[in-house]
């Protein structure tokens, strides 16, 4: 009897359990489908940037505080939903989502400047300097255009020395390259065009003998010409780039430019005692354009200029300066630049960090800002910065070098951008270490080393890219004395002593094989005369040549090996179609790829 009762209710119970299980599966499937089509509840009740200055914003616009880097961008991603950010106060779209800045409303290469948006996508498939499928072919094209990369690796432009951007409406989308990304080697990048966005690439100029004259070999110039309005760059945005190994400045934005923003980038290792005619140089970032925002950047391992500002209107916030030999940021007087005659300075500096390092001169203070302005009517706001323990109770982290400089201090920022968010200085270092550089989620060996140097307070200012000896300059002997030799060189600076203490070698012709230490030097035009410490055994003849030895024992370890990985890209359907976000489908695709390397 007992067994019959068990048999009677067991079968209905089994079916009931099956039905309940199916109901649970259906419920979970329905929830899963809903979450794939509707945005998840935002864990932050107020993630968007406040249009008013916010001293303590969330530095990451992504609602996920720790998304983790992907190993490389998906070549064919579905555009992710744009971060929930309010529009700019002007109603226009920022070319970099959720960012504000001077010139940030540029359409760049999107084609949105046209009544019917349309752009041309140039696929970079070749790492050659010139020719079809190269970066140069994209830069040289006209009209709205976007450079995307179907290869990673090094684009060696040493033979060109410089590559110019002369035509407006350009986007260089380095985030589209497979890991480890794109590095431009051996050339300066000069920008004379307007409405330009450059993202997610590394520019490393270096010290090859061939190339631009060392005294004028920057990493990046946004420069233009004063006498030609068509060659004055306006609305230029640099986002997540890495610039290294300049011989003059590493990064320059001149007074002929206007409305320029530099975001989340690394400016590092200007080469010090190398081929520059002034000798030790190693300068970081120099800016003199009107209306500049410099935010979230790392400026590391330079002698000076981190940055040097000679601009009437700039905002410099949430940057880290590390291991400058002299000082951190310099506010040079506007009187140094005739382009700013009659203008007064409005400057906002907040939330920055200056850290001394192994190369920092112990006899110099560690002020974040050295103020040298003397222009009457200037308004300067410098507050909430960190300066590695240096103290000035009258104006924290500021060293005033003019008699009237302190009178320019104001209690509120005289220059601001609606929607700009500035973190407290106490949060800046962590943010910059996590977010600066070409591909912070997929850093190459150079950027990884620089970031580690800052985190560990290691590293040094370097002289050269790699080890060995650079033989430069080389000149024909035009005349000589018992302790001198003269000859023409590409650039000679009589105000400096670039060659004093170095070795000059006579080679070829009469007197070849002799080496002497240079005791002093002088210039007459581009003819240099080197006076040596001891008499020549054989006086160099006019058939001989001489060259200077530049030792490279302090170096960066050589050029990085950038793997060449190929990957075809599939553009989104209807790339020029404007989505409900206001961006084109192509822009949404680029944004998604950018997030995957950030």
Domains and CATH numbers, the chain: 108-312+418-463+560-597 (2.160.20), 469-551 (2.40.10)
Structure-token match 């060259």, residue found? 547
Task: Say how far apart CA 554 and CA 452 lie, in whole Å.
Answer: 18
Q: How far apart are CA 588 and CA 3, in angstroms?
A: 67
The pLDDT value given to residue 82 = 65
DSSP-derived secondary structure for 437-478: SS-TTS--HHHHHHHHHHHHT-----SBSSSSEEEEEEEE--
Provide the 8-state DSSP code for 577.
-
CA distance 488 to 479: 10
CA distance from start to end of the chain:
72
- Cβ–Cβ < 8 Å for 551, 516: no
Is residue 239 a contact partner of residue 96, using CB atoms and an 8 Å limit? yes
Long-range contact set of residues 41-48: C-beta below 8 Å, sequence gap at least 24: 42/84, 47/83, 47/84, 48/84, 48/85, 48/86, 48/98
Around Cβ 68, how many Cβ atoms within 10 Å? 6
Collapsing DSSP to helix, strand or coil, 379 comes out as: strand
Q: Where are the alpha helices (DSSP H) in 42-151?
A: 135-140
Task: Give the pairing of strands 545-551 and 170-173.
Answer: unpaired
Please give the pLDDT value at position 269: 98
Q: Is the dihedral of CA 133, 125, 194, 118 positive or negative?
A: positive
Unique residue bearing structure tokens 């409900």? 580
Among residues 420, 433, 301, 271, which one has the least CA distance to residue 350?
420
Q: State how far the Cα of 310 lies from the Cα of 371, in Å rounded to an integer.
A: 11
CB 591 within 8 A of CB 584: no
Distance, in Å, from the CA atom of 450 to the CA atom of 107, rounded to the nearest integer, reads 32
pLDDT tens string, the chain, 598 residues long: the values are 333 333 443 444 344 333 333 333 333 333 333 333 333 334 333 433 333 433 344 434 444 444 444 444 455 555 455 667 777 888 899 999 999 999 999 999 999 999 999 999 999 999 999 999 999 999 999 999 999 999 999 999 999 999 999 999 999 999 999 999 999 999 999 999 999 999 999 999 999 999 899 999 999 999 988 888 888 999 999 999 999 999 999 999 999 999 999 999 999 999 999 999 999 999 999 999 999 999 999 999 999 999 999 999 999 999 999 999 998 999 999 999 999 999 999 999 999 999 999 999 988 878 999 999 999 999 999 999 999 988 899 999 999 999 999 999 999 999 999 999 999 999 999 999 999 999 999 999 999 999 999 999 999 999 999 999 999 999 999 999 999 999 999 889 888 889 999 999 999 999 999 999 999 999 999 999 999 999 999 999 999 999 999 999 999 999 999 999 999 999 999 999 999 999 999 999 999 999 999 9
DSSP 230-251: GGS-EEEEEES-EEE--SSEEE
Taking alpha carbons only, the member of 124, 219, 103, 243 closest to residue 174 is: 124
What is the predicted pLDDT for the residue at 43?
36
The CA–CA distances, whole Å, from 13 to 6, 22, 139, 443 equal 11, 14, 73, 59
- pLDDT (0 to 100) of residue 528: 96
Q: Residue 16: what are its φ and ψ, rounded to 5°?
A: -60, -40
Question: ∠419-584-434 over CA atoms, to 5°?
Answer: 50
Using a CB cutoff of 8 Å and minimum separation of 24, what contacts does 43-46 make? none
Is the distance from CB of 576 to CB of 585 less than 8 angstroms?
yes
How high is the pLDDT of residue 35? 32
Phi, psi of 400 (to 5 degrees): -95, 120
Residue 80, number of CB atoms within 10 A of its CB? 14
- Could you tell me if 140 and 190 are in contact, meaning their C-beta atoms sit under 8 angstroms apart? no
pLDDT of 84 reads 75
In a 13 Å sphere around the CA of 269, the CA atoms on its Cβ side amount to 28
Task: List beta partners, residue 383.
Answer: 350
pLDDT at residue 9, rounded to an integer: 38
Q: Which residues on adjacent β-strands are paired with residue 528?
A: 487, 523
Question: What local confidence, expressed as pLDDT, does residue 30 receive?
Answer: 33
Pairing of β 120-124 and β 545-551 = unpaired
What pTM, to 2 d.p., does this model score?
A: 0.86
């Amino acid at each position: 009897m007992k067994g019959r009762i068990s048999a009677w209710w067991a079968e209905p119970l089994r079916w009931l359990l099956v039905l309940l299980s199916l109901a649970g599966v259906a419920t979970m499937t329905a929830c899963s489908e809903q979450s794939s089509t509707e945005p998840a509840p935002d864990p932050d009740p107020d993630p968007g940037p406040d249009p008013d200055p916010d001293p303590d914003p969330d530095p990451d616009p992504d609602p996920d505080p720790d998304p983790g880097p992907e190993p490389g961008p998906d070549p064919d991603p579905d555009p992710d939903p744009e971060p929930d950010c309010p529009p700019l106060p002007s109603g226009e779209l920022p070319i970099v989502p959720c960012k504000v800045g001077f010139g940030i409303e540029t359409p760049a290469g999107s084609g949105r400047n046209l009544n019917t948006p349309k752009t041309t996508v140039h696929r970079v498939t070749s790492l050659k300097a010139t020719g079809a499928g190269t970066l140069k072919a994209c830069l040289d094209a006209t009209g709205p255009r976007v450079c995307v990369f179907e290869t990673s690796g090094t684009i060696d432009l040493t033979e060109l020395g410089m590559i110019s951007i002369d035509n407006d409406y350009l986007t260089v989308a380095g985030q589209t390259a497979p890991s480890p990304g794109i590095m431009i080697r051996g050339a300066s990048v000069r920008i004379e065009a307007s409405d330009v966005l450059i993202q997610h690439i590394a520019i490393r100029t270096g010290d090859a003998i061939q190339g631009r004259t060392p005294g004028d070999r920057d990493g990046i110039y946004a420069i233009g010409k004063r006498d030609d309005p068509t060659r004055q760059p306006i609305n230029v945005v640099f986002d997540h780039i890495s610039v290294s190994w300049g011989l003059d400045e590493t990064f320059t934005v001149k007074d002929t430019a206007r409305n320029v923003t530099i975001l989340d980038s690394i400016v590092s290792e200007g080469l010090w005692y190398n081929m520059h005619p002034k000798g030790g140089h190693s300068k970081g970032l120099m800016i003199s354009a009107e209306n500049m925002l410099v935010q979230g950047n790392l400026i590391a391992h330079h002698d000076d200029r981190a940055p040097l500002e000679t601009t009437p209107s700039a905002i410099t916030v949430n940057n880290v300066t590390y291991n400058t030999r002299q000082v951190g940021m310099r506010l040079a007087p506007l009187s140094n630049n005739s382009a700013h005659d009659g203008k007064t300075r409005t400057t906002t500096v907040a939330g920055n960090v200056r850290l001394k390092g192994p190369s920092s001169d112990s006899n110099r203070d560690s002020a974040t800002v050295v103020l040298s302005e003397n222009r009457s009517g200037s308004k300067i706001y410098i507050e909430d910065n960190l300066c590695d323990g240096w103290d000035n109770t009258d104006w924290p982290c500021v060293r005033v070098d003019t008699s009237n400089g302190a009178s320019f201090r104001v209690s509120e920022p005289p220059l601001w951008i609606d929607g700009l968010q500035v973190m407290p200085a106490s949060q800046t270092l962590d943010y910059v270490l996590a977010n600066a550089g070409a591909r912070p989620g997929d850093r190459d060996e150079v950027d990884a080393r620089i970031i580690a140097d800052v985190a560990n307070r290691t590293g040094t200012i370097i002289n050269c890219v790699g080890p060995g000896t650079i033989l430069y300059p080389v000149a024909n002997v035009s005349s000589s004395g018992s302790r001198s030799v003269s000859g023409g060189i590409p650039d000679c600076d009589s105000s400096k002593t670039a060659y004093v203490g170095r070795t000059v070698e006579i080679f070829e012709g009469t007197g070849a094989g002799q080496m002497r230490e240079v005791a002093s030097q002088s210039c007459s035009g581009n003819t240099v005369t080197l006076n040596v410490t001891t008499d020549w055994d054989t006086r160099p003849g006019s058939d001989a040549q001489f060259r200077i030895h530049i030792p490279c024992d302090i170096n960066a370890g050589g050029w990085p090996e950038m793997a060449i990985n190929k990957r075809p890209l599939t553009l989104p359907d209807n790339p020029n179609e404007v989505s409900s976000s206001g961006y084109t489908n192509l822009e949404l695709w680029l944004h998604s790829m950018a997030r995957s390397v950030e």
